[in-house]
Structure 1
Amino acid sequence: LIIESVPERPDIKRAVYAEIETTAADDAIITSSTSGIMPSELQAEMRHPERLMVAHPFNPVYLLPLVELVAGTQTDNKYIEWGKSFFADIGMHPLHCRVEIAGFLSDRLQEALWREALWLLHDKVATADEIDAAIAYGPGLRWAQMGTMQTFHLAGGEGGMRAMLAMFGPCLKWPWTKLMDVPELTDDFVNEVGDQCEKQAAGLNPRELERIRDDNLIAIQRALKGNDWGAGKTLARYEAKMGRAANDD
């Protein structure tokens, strides 16, 4: 297995693949950690394009289990199946994105929220701290265990998602958001966003913030493990596997 993690430029990635193919065995599997470039574009000039797929992890990769697997038009499906097995075996949660689409699944969802957050800050509706509080103290806690679809399904009570769509579906057509546009990233706006985010950090440097984040992520996954739910279920399965391997030794 060869994992490519060079900068997000198709030309650089294709040049790396050309170099890899001059030395790697013909059956070596190549994955790209790109967060949004479609694999069909990446494999266009390869001698063996069938063995390339995207395996997109999430930061911090040593704690978050999700990895998106995406095939290009020339990818042999047997490599996707191999990837599902391999990444599950090392304690990750492989998610096969069945349709090749720019940005894949998770980043498209994250970007929609980020775009709206930037508009709210740009239009001075809320500060960076208020926007993050609106997520961290509410829906963010729910999303860690159920995600968006299951959360709304549960909110619908006995009627589930059907009740939610009947009640709130028409609201989706209201002009509440600016999800199709991006605010102009002028120097003044970029500096305003940067200043507010630095104020949020309250003097903590990136290493200190990373440690707090990592400790919280560990605690959340351990809590979910107790109910065999979400990312905790993946953790429980991997720990059980490692325990069996230790006993075998």
Structure 2
Amino acid sequence: MSHIKPINQVAVIGTGVIGASWAALFLAKGLDVVATDVAPNAEASLRRFVEAAWPALERLGLTPGASPLRLVFTPDLAEAVKDTDFVQENGPERFEFKQDLYRQLDLMLPPDVIIASSSSGLPMSQIQSGAASHPERCVIGHPFNPPHLMPLVEIVGGTKTSEDTVKQADHFYTTIGKRTVRINKELPGHVANRLQAALAREVYYLVAENVLSARDVDTALTYGPGLRWGIMGNMMLNHLGGGPGGIEHFLQQFAGPMTASWKSLGSPQLTPDVQKRLIDSVHAEVGSRTIEELEAERDELLLGLLELRAKAASLG
């Protein structure tokens, strides 16, 4: 890797749900953040988000010098990126918009400033076509929502992204506590969303076919494999599932039955009738709880798991 460039100031372009969450995390890691968005009331919404997220970030541990006061907002793109060391772009998932944005950024920024996109839907090979002079510094840095809590970042280069850019981005995200995965091929949805989609397809099929309710399928996941997935991934759990023989024995024992079971997996069509069945079943599970109450429950349990994982890592 070439010389690692220090990152002290980050420009956050787009301050919707993802951009605001990124901004809160960067602030918690002791960085200066200059955010920009042309939406009405964007600054007020961003500052409210950071204020609401700060107690959770304090609980997870702030970097010395971290402060919400290090947040600057400007609606002017050129002003936002004037002195930045790194750009985290969170604009709309529209190719024409991103191509024009990257054209502007390519002209405004020194060639060594990385432009990382949070995009989950557009490949970097298309996005970076707007950056005619320096497409090599453009890369996908796709977070898992919400970025200020969820550690995962998927790093995907486009056809013109340099290996040094990938390594520099990986180093930056890792130094602020993220867990990165390098994706070697561009695929729609990258990887984590594809894994979610595969599971969601079977969940919707089971509920739509009245095999079980939304409540029971969620219970089956969260008190079954979901508990284990919060500790180890599928491949490591398969290795343990093979007993003393490990993954070799697991595949010898289960490859046949497992591949046979794939043939019975569902491919539901989300027709209006199927969607109504899913919606009715979810509302039966939700009961009188509000979205805000459910979000608080989710975040409290997530913080507990993150704290437990951090404790285990410190002991290891």
CA deviations 1:114-173 (Å, max 9, x no partner) are 111111122221221111111100110100111111111101100111111111101233
TM-score by length of 1: 0.85
Contact between 2:114 and 2:169, CA under 8 Å: does it hold in 1? Answer: no
- The correspondence of residues 1-249 of structure 1 with structure 2, limited to 5 A, is 1-47=86-132, 48-174=134-260, 175-178=263-266, 181=267, 183-228=268-313
Query: CA RMSD, aligned part only?
Result: 1.9
Aligned residue in 1 for 2:16: none
Aligned length: 228
Contact between 2:239 and 2:246, CA under 8 Å: does it hold in 1? Answer: yes
Aligned residue in 1 for 2:15: none
Identity of aligned residues (%): 35
Q: CA deviation at 1:97?
A: 1.3
The unaligned stretches of length 5 or more in structure 2 are: 1-85
Matches of 2:112 and 2:156, distance apart in 1: 19
Aligned residue in 2 for 1:240: none
Q: CA deviation at 1:205?
A: 1.6
Q: CA deviation at 1:82?
A: 0.7
TM-score by length of 2: 0.68
Amino acid aligned to 1:82: Q
Decide whether aligned partners of structure 1 residues 171 and 37 sit closer, same or farther in structure 2, where only a CA change above 3 A counts: farther
Matches of 2:206 and 2:129, distance apart in 1: 40
Amino acid aligned to 2:280: D
Matches of 2:177 and 2:280, distance apart in 1: 38
Decide whether aligned partners of structure 1 residues 198 and 13 sit closer, same or farther in structure 2, where only a CA change above 3 A counts: farther
Q: Which moved more, 1:97-106 or 1:112-121?
A: 97-106
SS in 2 for 1:43: helix
Matches of 1:192 and 1:16, distance apart in 2: 41
SS in 1 for 2:264: coil
Amino acid aligned to 1:208: E
Contact between 2:105 and 2:131, CA under 8 Å: does it hold in 1? Answer: no
